Copies of this chain bind each other. A is one copy, B any other.
Amino acid sequence: MNKKKISIAVIKRLPRYYRYLYDLLKLGITRISSKELSERMNITASQIRQDLNCFGGFGQQGYGYNVESLFNEISNILGVNETFHTIIVGAGHMGQALANYGNFEKRGFKVVGIFDVNPAVVGTAINGIEVLHIDKLDEFIKQNKVDIGILTVPYDQTPAVADRLARLGVKGLWNFSPMDLELEHDVVIENVHLSDSLMVLGYKLNEMRNRNKSKN
């Protein structure tokens, strides 16, 4: 039943297709060829056709792709039409920012709980959700469906909290600490390494400066 495994490179491009198709839809464009889309997205038409064919033949020879139906296909592949229940563990600045970011809910990610230890925030509401003390985590997860744990706790607490969530049956972790989480459990992890990204930007900046300097 399972086809060949889809490479992570392809999967990472899916949200990008999703965004571009959404924009096309809003622009009222009903059909698009891989060539036109390739020009907009700055990738090759060949890659687009290869990528999409990992999931099925969504196009039609001589016509191209119907924007709306392709958008729906990609949405389904990404699970945007489902609702993933998430909890935010760590209601510091980053946790609060994520709790307040409306875009995630549009894509099917609903924050159902926020946890912290700090008495100054426990009991307050962020974006309409009461912050609970982390002692209530076990009870909460047992009583509520929780698909994804968003980890915005301090660095040194991250492994323990991740492990605790995994033991409680949370199958997806979105980690904001600058460490590579590895768990023995059957859990999928996405790391968001903001400082890594910033350091890459710093590197590129220096590299560009050196390039320009050596032009003289």
Contact = CB atoms under 8 A, between A and B. Distances in A.
Interface of A: 1-2, 11-12, 14-16, 18-19, 41-42, 77-80, 82, 84, 92-94, 96-98, 100-101, 103-104, 107-109, 147-148, 171-172, 174, 178-180, 182, 186, 188, 190, 192-206, 208-209, 211-212, 214
Most chain B CB neighbours (cut-off 10 Å) among A14, A108, A198, A211: A198
Number of copies of chain A assembled together = 2
Given A174-B201, A203-B79, A205-B79, A196 B96 contact: no
Contact of A1 (B42, B97, B186, B214): B214
Nearest to A93: B97
A contact face: mostly helix, strand, loop, or mixed: helix
B100 A208 contact: no
A186 B208 CA distance: 9
Given A2-B214, A14-B200, A171 B205 contact: yes
Contacts of A107: 195, 198-199, 202
